[in-house]
Amino acid sequence: MKNKETQIQKVCGFYVNDWHFTTMILPYIRKEIESNKKVITLFQNSIKSNIEEILSKMNLNKTFEERILEINWNQIEQEQIEQTLELAKENMQTIDIVENLDIEKENMQMTNILKKENKLIKERNIQTIDILVKGENEFIETMNEKIETTIKELEGRTKITIINFYDLSKNNEISQITKQHEYVINTAGMQKIEKETKQEKEA
């Protein structure tokens, strides 16, 4: 899927539990941070404690560890999404979609955080944004609709990768899901999904 102003790439992944997801995503996150990409999360449930536990057992550079912890690994609430995306449109200069925020924060606090995000992106000259969406099918579909609606209203200055992670314990539509994405991600990394040709379908 491509917007004439903003390039959008869609990726899917599958996990059996939160620990599987955590160990799968961290190597990818590390690579994206090293490439100076912005990572944003829209999670149906929190994996913050998992991330913190794994990082405590790794011998990472302190600055690099802080970059990982800057990412919001918490759950996002429905009403929080609407506020966040609206503020993103109002404040967007170099950021296209903003990180999910704690539900307790007031609008003024959220605005301040958005300004901080904009400053960080300018300092790091980020041209690519990854949006990680994790949860059940209905949650992922809703988040993707909101993301794409917001992107249409923004000036295209970045390449956005939307990575949808599906809970395998509550999903039996893997074949259908892969047909809707360009790439699949797993512990081995990201691979292009080979689409069936018309001749193969008719065979």
Q: Within 10 A of 96 (CB to CB), how many other CB atoms are there?
A: 24
Retrieve residue 130's tokens.
């990854």
Say if 2 falls within a structural domain: no
Say if 1 falls within a structural domain: no
Spatial CB neighbours of 83, under 8 Å, sequence gap ≥ 6: 101, 107, 110
Instruction: Report the share of the chain in percent with pLDDT over 90.
Output: 30
What is the mean predicted confidence (pLDDT) over 141-160? Answer: 73
- Alpha-carbon span 48 to 90, nearest angstrom: 28
Tell me what pLDDT residue 160 has.
Answer: 79
Residue 29: its H or E element: helix 18-34
Q: Within 10 A of 88 (CB to CB), how many other CB atoms are there?
A: 20
Say if 51 falls within a structural domain: yes
Task: Compute the Cα dihedral for 60, 64, 69, 71 and give only its sign.
Answer: negative
R_g (Cα) of the chain, nearest Å = 17
Q: Please, which pLDDT band fits residue 106 given cuts at 50, 70 and 90?
A: very low
What is the mean predicted confidence (pLDDT) over 94-123? Answer: 48
Mean pLDDT of all residues belonging to the chain: 75
Q: For residue 52, give the CATH number of its domain.
A: 3.40.50
Tell me what pLDDT residue 101 has.
Answer: 36
Number of domains in the chain: 1
Full domain range(s) for residue 135: 7-202
Retrieve residue 23's tokens.
């160990």
pTM of the model: 0.73
Name which of 29, 51, 40 is nearest 121 in CA terms. 40
Our measurement of the distance from residue 163's CA atom to the centroid of its chain's CA atoms, rounded to an integer in Å, reads 6
Position 34 pLDDT exceeds 60: yes
Say if 82 falls within a structural domain: yes
Say if 129 falls within a structural domain: yes
Tell me what pLDDT residue 115 has.
Answer: 57
